[in-house]
Structure formats: C-alpha cells, structure tokens
C-alpha cells in the first residue's frame, strides 16, 4: 500500500480520520500501524486483547504492596488522642482609679471561684511597664490578668496585691506621682 492510494473517504462526511485503502475503510491509527509496524507511534494500540485467552493463562499475584483490585484492605490502624485546646480564662470585670501615688485596680472574682481563691493562689509579676497575674484555681484552669503595656512607668518593688472578700486588689506604685492615669494600658 502506498501513500498515494490512501485518500480521504468521500463517503464519510463527519470529518473523522477515516481513509479509503483499496475500497476498505481504515482509520488513521490502523493505517499508521500497518505502514510503520513496530516504529509506529501507535504501536501499543495494535495488540487486540482477547479476554478468553487472558482468563486461561492469567495468574493473579497478591500480597502486601500489590494492588489487585477489590475492596480496600486496612493495612494499619492508629488512634491519635488529640488534646482539646482550652480557651484561656481571663478576668474581665475590673475597675481602676488613680489615687495619687498609686493606681488601684479592683478585679471582681467570678461567682464560681469566689470561695476557692486564697492568697496563696495568686502569682503576680510587676514590671516597669507591664504586669502579669495568674490565679491558680484548685481542680480547674487558672485565670489570667495581663497588661502588656501600662499607661506609665511603675515601681515594681513597691507594688502589691491582696485578696479582699470577692475581689483582688492591685496597688500599683506610680513612678511619676504627678502623672495622672486616665487609662490603665497604653
């Protein structure tokens, strides 16, 4: 078969790649395989798979790491316990006022912890421009009161904390007594 004898089909008006080869319809793929044999780009498509022949000679190999089809098989199971992230409890109800040498902060204790908070539960760190307070609650999560940047500088050594009834009172010693605090944080 030479290339000159292959012409587009006049019978086929659907623009498919069908050629006439000595009055027989042959697709471009089949034509390429016939003419170029093993050198054909489409050579892999030349083999006609016969299912009956394959069933007689077939050997199924299975084992770990070999995919043979069928339902999924569980290879391993691991249970990972994830600790829930707890929201930090913070004191939200407080008032403060400027009292000449000191700024006084009165923090209301929530009802659920009023009876369990003792003086030894309170940990506080005063810094020149910040304060961090942690109240450890027996058999519960701690409560925090943090001011990252105080309005003015303080004297940490002369500042104090005390527990009065259902309130925590912070006496924060101002560095500049003449400077009035109209807000707690900068």
Task: For 4-44, write each residue's pLDDT tens digit.
Answer: 444 444 444 444 454 545 556 778 878 888 888 877 777 67
Assign domain 89-173 to a CATH class.
Answer: mainly beta
Neighbours of 150 (CB within 10 A): 21
d(CA 62, CA 148): 64
What lies within 8 Å, CB to CB, of 182 at 6+ separation is 98, 151
Residue 123's H or E segment, with its range, is strand 122-126
- What value does the mean pLDDT of the chain take? 81
23, burial (CB in 10 Å: exposed 0-12, middle 13-18, buried 19+): exposed
Give the pLDDT confidence score for residue 11 in this predicted structure: 41
Instruction: Compare 7 and 95 and report the one with higher pLDDT.
Output: 95
Give the pLDDT confidence score for residue 145 in this predicted structure: 95
Which residues are 94's β-sheet partners? 107
Helix, coil or strand: residue 37: helix
Give the pLDDT confidence score for residue 16 in this predicted structure: 45
What is the chain's length? 186
Task: Report the pLDDT averaged over residues 86-102.
Answer: 90
- Phi/psi for 37 (5° steps) reads 50, -125
> Residue 135: is its pLDDT beyond 90?
yes
The ranges assigned to domains in the chain are 3-57, 89-173
pLDDT tens figures, 76-93: 888 888 887 778 899 999
């Amino acid at each position: 078969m030479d290339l000159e004898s292959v012409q587009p089909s006049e019978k086929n008006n659907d623009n498919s790649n069908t050629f006439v080869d000595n009055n027989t319809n042959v697709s471009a793929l089949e034509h390429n395989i016939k003419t170029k044999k093993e050198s054909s780009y489409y050579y892999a498509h030349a083999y006609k798979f016969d299912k009956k022949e394959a069933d007689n000679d077939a050997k199924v190999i299975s084992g770990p790491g070999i995919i043979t089809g069928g339902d999924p098989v569980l290879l391993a199971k691991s249970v990972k316990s994830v600790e829930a992230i707890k929201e930090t409890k913070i004191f939200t109800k407080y008032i403060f006022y400027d009292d000449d040498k000191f700024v006084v902060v009165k923090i209301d204790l929530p009802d659920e912890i009023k009876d369990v908070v003792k003086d030894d539960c309170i940990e506080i760190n005063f810094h020149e421009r910040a304060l961090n307070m942690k109240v450890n609650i027996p058999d519960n999560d701690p409560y925090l009161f943090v001011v990252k940047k105080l309005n003015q500088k303080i004297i940490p050594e002369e500042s104090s904390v005390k527990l009065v009834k259902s309130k925590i009172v912070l006496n924060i010693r101002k560095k500049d007594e003449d400077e009035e605090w109209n807000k707690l944080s900068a």
